[in-house]
A and B are shown apart, each in its own frame.
Chain A
Amino acid sequence: MTRRVASVDQVSTTPLRLVTVEDRNVQIASTIAVPVIETEAQLKALIVSLSGVDAVGAEARAAKLSTRSIKKSTKLAAIEMAISMIDLTTLEGADTPGRVTSLCTKAMRPDPRDLTVPSVAAVCVYPDLVAHARSVLGSSPVAVASVATAFPSGRASLKVKLMDVREAVSAGADEIDMVIDRGAFLSGRLGQVFDEVVAVKEACGHAHLKVILETGELVTYDNVRRASWVAMLGGADFIKTSTGKVTVNATLPNALVMLEAVRDFAETAGRTVGVKVAGGIRTSKDAIRYLVLVNETVGSTWLTPNLFRLGASSLLNDLLMQRLKQQRGAYVRADEFSGD
């Protein structure tokens, strides 16, 4: 004898589908306006009013999202997206014009045999190599980004920092990656950090400003959230995790907290700020995890080089290899692509 479990009618007549871009773009009108910051007291009051971050929860959320399974055409799309978001970076004392030339060439045509591969978003160099990079890139859409403001420590007078910025901009930089004064931030001088961002933003002129928080030195997620807001209130076009020059660089939970900050800032202040993760991102898998994080935290609006960047150097080759592997169906040699 066999019994059957009764069927339920009228469940739904629409087929199975996955969540679409539209769903993710649900946006809700801003409810709180951010006041104009005129005094340090106002700034501190606003910063202190931000919600705390529970470290365990933030790390658990990031870990959970990193289990997303990105396969097949999604993976290919994600790889190309990641390529287009790279700030291809060389920040070594031993950098030479030759190396920068090679980097720029690769930035414009990451895979010389396949022109459907998008160019990267920018090359990122020290200020003295901006002019050279600019001349190699010519009229290509690849931007020139330059670290300035006494990168990476930020330990110089404001005057020197501003001069550093102006020189880079006048040499042709489209984007400036500044570092905040972590010492000032950690000792509570938020006004000083804010003023520096405002001054650097002004010195940037037409160039876009990325503010490096150096999350590895801020240590706590509360600090990362607070520093994100100071930078955004000061006029940052992007907030960026790290210089890549300290022990702890970009991490998924730090990026999560920063993405939450830009999302909330967009809602309350009505201005969209980008996020750049940098340092230690070497594999396609890493990069895709960040894209998933963006996708599910701020929505696909941010999935554009205008609003999300990956600061990296060796990542590009891995993305190219994985792309080729997706196309060929077999793993490829590391030597398939140029070293620089």
Chain B
Amino acid sequence: MSDARLDVRKTYKLLINGAFPRSESGRSYEVTSAKGAFLANAAQGSRKDVRDAVTAARGAQAKWWNATAYNRGQVIYRLAEMAESRRDELAEHVALAEGMNSRTSQKTVSASIDRIVWYAGWTDKIAQVLGGTNPVAGPFFNFSIPLPSGVVGVISVQESSLLGFVDAVLAPICVGNTVVALASEARPTPAVLLGEMTSSSDFPGGVLNVVTGLTGELAPVLAAHEDVDGLDLSGVTFEVGDELAALAAGSIKRVFRPHEKESDSSLRRLRAFVETSTVWHTIGQ
């Protein structure tokens, strides 16, 4: 009998409203590495978990949007700092989940952290890029500002467990939305880890909610939920995406479907869940 220490295995839980509950259903599922080895147990979220996550996201929306853009940038940058300090842990999970060697996974983590920094810098610039004043033909001051769509449901890409997740959740969050994200079904742990880091980065509870579980079970719930304003379908096939997009039509959701090759510098993701609000005011003595 070996005297090696028996490791303590972590069950990866959900992130809802700043807390880490197990699924209300009590279910969990086994997550394996790319090579099929046992990696961890993850909570297998249910319809009701999705519902609770949407409620949390809705509750946090006004507070997140009413924070100053500067403050939102600080909070997101803090997340980059936290990720940097736990980069080895992230890299280990990315390596196992995605079957990478450690060098590649470190590069992926670096890219992901840099991406978080990129989004941190966008919070107080996006209004100037997407908004502006409009020279209407009359005595009115007229300006357009980007407002968040509200609550965005993200079905995160299945393959890219960290970098893809960062893009999918931080783009809507940095412009003021709150997010309910379904993590990659087979590779949920990097997303859960990043979720854990948000709770130590001054993210108000509910801004990012992460639900793990079976995409096929949870995605239709999210797509049909009428209090979800936008839906990112990055993590499903085109066929499934078509079905989910039809469900999303029930409450006229904004639906984002990635291009085959989404350019890094594209603002599509930032524009996807932004509403242009235009204000007119009379000008007179």
Task: Give the interface of A toward B (CB within 8 A).
Answer: 54-57, 59, 219-221
Contact = CB atoms under 8 A, between A and B. Distances in A.
Interface residues of B, number: 7
A59 B139 CA distance: 10
Contacts of B282: 54-57
- Per DSSP, chain A at the interface is helix
18 contacts: A54-B282, A54-B284, A55-B139, A55-B282, A55-B284, A55-B285, A56-B138, A56-B139, A56-B140, A56-B282, A56-B283, A56-B284, A57-B282, A59-B139, A59-B284, A219-B285, A220-B285, A221-B285
Interface of B: 138-140, 282-285
- Per DSSP, chain B at the interface is loop
Contacts of B285: 55, 219-221
B63 to A, nearest CB: 34
Given A54-B282, A56-B282, A220-B285, 14 more contacts: A54-B284, A55-B139, A55-B282, A55-B284, A55-B285, A56-B138, A56-B139, A56-B140, A56-B283, A57-B282, A59-B139, A59-B284, A219-B285, A221-B285
A216 B139 CA distance: 20
Nearest to B138: A56
A57 B285 CA distance: 11
Contacts of B283: 56
Taking each of A55, A56, A59, which has the highest tally of chain B beta carbons within 10 Å of its own beta carbon?
A56
A57 B280 CA distance: 13
Contacts of B284: 54-56, 59
A248 to B, nearest CB: 13
A220 B285 CA distance: 6
Nearest to A55: B284
A288 B23 CA distance: 77
A125 to B, nearest CB: 35
B258 to A, nearest CB: 45
Contacts of A219: 285
Contacts of B140: 56
Contacts of A55: 139, 282, 284-285
